[in-house]
């Protein structure tokens, strides 16, 4: 019997129709077992002696309109091994619930609040879950950034008392996947790494560069001086135009037609030429 020692947070941003899970564990490929999410419906983390059927079954129950606390009862009442299970649930409106079976290894427990549920087992102490909750509530920015902040706070409070190995971040949003064909808005995994949360944070920044739209405050108008610099950089990068360079470097989602360039693209171009 495998008991992945795990801490996780499920959360939503109702204003942006995003639901997601962030998790870290002393367990190989935790992202293959714990996180489940469905855009416009909710997110579930199933852990400890994880019952992976809780993911799809729980999401189906949320889709039927059941509240997270009711979903917990439906899932655990029919499970002979519920005392070994742990899960967190949030729906797309922000309702949440967390459950910790009585046989989960100390320290084990959870906190549920508006828009999130945080939980963990085999932890350094209850401060880990408290750190997850507080950091999420205090952080600002994208849901992805707030979830990473929560994981970092949980680790800073002692984290998984067996150590670190893998981490994952999964956020679903209706039409948020590649080219809008599915809801897989952010789906990142670090399966085996000495510092999985920091590696996950690094990969997230790349994901944001390639797939997130630029924030209005990050857009610069290309005046004569900036155009001269960009033209020089593009030539040195071996491209015929800024648009050609951006397509070549998989930055097509950041191509603009309003005479501007975002700070992230400009920074990428400058760094590219320096290499």
**Residues 6 or more apart from 210 whose CB is under 8 A from it?**
250, 251, 253
Quote the CA–CA distance of 21 and 8 in Å, as a whole number.
7
Structural domain contains residue 110:
yes
Q: Which domain holds residue 220?
A: 216-274
**Residues 6 or more apart from 212 whose CB is under 8 A from it?**
142, 253
* pLDDT band, very low/low/confident/very high, at 275 (cuts 50, 70, 90): confident
Please say whether the beta carbons of 121 and 3 come within 8 A: yes
Q: What is the pLDDT of residues 110-154, one digit of tens each?
A: 999 999 999 999 999 999 999 999 999 999 999 999 999 999 999
Q: Among residues of the chain, what percentage have pLDDT more than 70?
A: 98
Structural domain contains residue 1:
no
Please say whether the beta carbons of 120 and 104 come within 8 A: no
DSSP character at residue 213: P
Judgement on whether residues 160 and 205 belong to the same structural domain of the protein: yes
Judgement on whether residues 129 and 15 belong to the same structural domain of the protein: yes
Judgement on whether residues 157 and 63 belong to the same structural domain of the protein: yes
Mean pLDDT score, 176-198: 97
Cis peptide leading into 30, omega within 30 of 0? Answer: no
Judgement on whether residues 43 and 160 belong to the same structural domain of the protein: yes
Q: What is the pLDDT of residues 227-248, one digit of tens each?
A: 999 999 999 999 999 999 999 9
CA within 13 Å, CB half, 85: 25
| Backbone dihedral angles phi then psi of residue 97, each to the nearest 5 degrees | -160, 150
Judgement on whether residues 138 and 248 belong to the same structural domain of the protein: no
Quote the CA–CA distance of 97 and 90 in Å, as a whole number.
7
Judgement on whether residues 142 and 227 belong to the same structural domain of the protein: no
- Looking at residue 3, its pLDDT comes to 57
Structural domain contains residue 190:
yes
Q: Using CA of residue 213, residue 251, residue 198, residue 104, what is the dihedral sign?
A: positive
């Amino acid at each position: 019997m495998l008991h992945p020692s795990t801490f996780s947070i499920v959360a939503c941003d109702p204003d942006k129709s995003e639901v997601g899970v962030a998790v870290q564990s002393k367990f190989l490929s935790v992202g293959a077992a714990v996180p489940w999410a469905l855009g416009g419906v909710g997110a579930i983390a199933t852990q400890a002696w994880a019952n992976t059927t809780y993911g799809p079954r729980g999401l189906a129950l949320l889709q039927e309109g059941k509240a997270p606390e009711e979903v917990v009862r439906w899932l655990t009442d029919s499970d002979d091994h519920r005392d070994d299970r742990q899960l967190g649930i949030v729906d797309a409106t922000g309702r949440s619930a967390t459950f910790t079976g009585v046989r989960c290894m100390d320290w084990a427990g959870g906190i549920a609040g508006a828009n999130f549920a945080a939980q963990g087992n085999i932890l350094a102490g209850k401060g880990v879950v408290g750190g997850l909750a507080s950091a999420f509530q205090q952080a600002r920015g994208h849901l992805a950034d707030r979830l990473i902040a929560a994981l970092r706070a949980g680790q800073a409070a002692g984290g998984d008392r067996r150590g670190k190995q893998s981490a994952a971040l999964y956020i679903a949003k209706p039409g948020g996947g590649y080219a809008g064909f599915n809801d897989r808005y952010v789906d990142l995994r670090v399966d085996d790494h000495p510092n999985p949360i920091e590696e996950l944070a690094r990969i997230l920044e790349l994901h944001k560069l390639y797939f997130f739209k630029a924030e209005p405050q990050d857009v610069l108008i290309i005046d004569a001086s900036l155009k001269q610099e960009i033209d020089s950089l593009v030539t040195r990068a071996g491209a015929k135009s800024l648009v050609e360079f951006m397509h070549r470097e998989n930055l097509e989602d950041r191509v603009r037609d309003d005479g501007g360039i975002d700070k992230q693209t400009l920074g990428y171009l400058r760094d590219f030429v320096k290499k």
